[in-house]
């Protein structure tokens, strides 16, 4: 679903690949108070609007009926239910909303401290099990919604009605969430609370690992530990007699769905070589993978396509090189 990326969004802020599990037609760019419990009745009808149901398919004057936030009828000859609140749509064009497949919340500025004193290192969250602050698979972005108003407004202005929001910091970052971008409380707009485990091929700015090689080693070890933890728990559950109970580990427990193949790992890559590395890591660890690219994947398109890993790419591709500036020898 192509669209223009709002200039105010971060570089990774707009991704054009639709999440196949979400029905596109159910996501309309219409500003109606449809938040759950916002008002009664919970039946709405947009009447007389120009409706774009798919590329090249348009109903010049039709009706849309929504009940409890779900579209139940679309067409030129739809009967308006007696209990519906009617919205005149004579001046409206209604179209399926776009899905932004990868959004990170805006970077929070560091707290200002006394002048001349160094700022303390980022604290390890309470209750976290892993010794590295860069490994936090137990983090759930759904617990830290919503997006900032300017970011939310930018997405809505560009026609996005749903977004997958991912944690911003760390290497094994935690679980993304799919949310609607409408009005209302954040918990009312959550569509999928824990969609994917986000993993970034990105060294830490301070501390270990400070190199790409170190970040890759941390990711590989995390998957190995999660698989071992899953196997140890299953073995104990089958025959607990005479065996010590495996210690509970919050981090490895959060990675169990990835190790079991029930939750994908969403790799964040900064360039095409990292896309290839991420695909190799996923294959080695036997995990389902999605990869967020940066737009330069065309440089290795045959190799990347051969890996067969779904790719999320930015809407705003890099500008092609200007061949007129090249010297001719």
pLDDT value of position 97: 87
CATH number of the domain to which 46 belongs: 2.30.40.10
Name the token pair of 306.
């051969």
How many Cβ atoms from other residues are within 10 Å of residue 190's Cβ? Answer: 15
Please check the confidence at residue 184 and state whether its pLDDT lies above 90.
Answer: no
| Residue 239, domain extent | 98-106+129-315
Please tell me whether residues 291 and 174 are part of one structural domain: yes
Q: What is the reported pLDDT for 108? A: 63
Q: What percent of the chain has pLDDT over 90?
A: 53
Judge if 43 and 150 occupy the same domain: no
Burial class (CB in 10 A: 0-12, 13-18, 19+), 129: middle
Q: Is residue 276 part of a domain?
A: yes
- 274 located within any domain: yes
The CATH number of residue 149's host domain is 3.20.20.140
Rounded Cα distance, 93 and 58, in Å: 10
Q: Which residue's structure tokens are 């009312």?
A: 188
77 & 134 share domain: no
DSSP-assigned beta bridge partners for residue 98 = 160
Domains: count for the chain? 2
Per-residue pLDDT for 215 more than 70? yes
Tell the residue number behind the tokens 């398109």, with chain if given.
301
Which of 74-83, 113-122, 202-211 is the most confident on average? 74-83
Q: Give this prediction's pTM.
A: 0.72
Instruction: State how far the Cα of 141 lies from the Cα of 147, in Å rounded to an integer.
Output: 11
Same domain, 140 and 209: yes
Q: Alpha-carbon distance 98 to 11, whole Å?
A: 18
Q: pLDDT-based confidence at 196, cuts 50/70/90?
A: very high
């Amino acid at each position: 679903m192509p669209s223009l990326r709002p200039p105010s969004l971060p570089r990774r802020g707009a991704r054009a690949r639709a999440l196949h599990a979400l029905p596109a037609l159910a996501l309309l760019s219409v500003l109606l108070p449809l938040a759950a419990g916002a008002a009664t009745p919970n039946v709405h009808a947009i009447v007389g609007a120009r409706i774009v149901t798919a590329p090249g398919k348009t109903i010049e004057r039709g009706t849309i009926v929504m009940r409890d936030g779900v579209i139940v009828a679309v067409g030129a000859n739809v009967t308006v239910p007696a209990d519906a609140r009617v919205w005149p749509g004579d001046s409206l064009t209604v179209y399926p909303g776009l899905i932004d497949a990868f959004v990170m919340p805006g970077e929070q500025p560091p707290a200002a401290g006394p002048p001349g004193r160094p700022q303390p290192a980022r604290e390890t969250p309470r209750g976290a099990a892993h010794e590295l602050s860069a490994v936090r698979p137990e983090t759930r972005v759904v617990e830290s919604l919503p997006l900032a108003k300017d970011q939310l407004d930018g997405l809505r202005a560009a026609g996005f009605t749903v977004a997958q929001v991912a944690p911003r910091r760390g290497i094994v970052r935690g679980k993304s969430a799919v949310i609607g971008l409408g009005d209302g409380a954040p918990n009312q707009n959550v569509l999928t609370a824990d969609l994917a485990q986000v993993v970034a091929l990105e060294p830490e700015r301070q501390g270990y690992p400070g190199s790409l090689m170190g970040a890759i080693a941390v990711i590989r070890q995390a998957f190995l530990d999660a698989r071992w933890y899953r196997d140890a728990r299953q073995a104990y559950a089958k025959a607990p007699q005479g065996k010590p109970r495996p210690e509970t580990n919050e981090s490895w427990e959060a990675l169990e769905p990835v190790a079991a193949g029930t939750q994908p790992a969403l790799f964040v890559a900064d360039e095409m070589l990292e896309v290839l590395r991420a695909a190799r890591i996923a294959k080695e660890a036997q995990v389902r993978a999605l990869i967020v690219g940066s737009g330069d994947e065309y440089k290795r398109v045959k190799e990347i396509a051969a890996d067969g890993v779904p790719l999320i790419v930015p809407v705003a591709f890099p500008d092609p090189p200007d061949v007129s500036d090249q010297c001719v020898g």
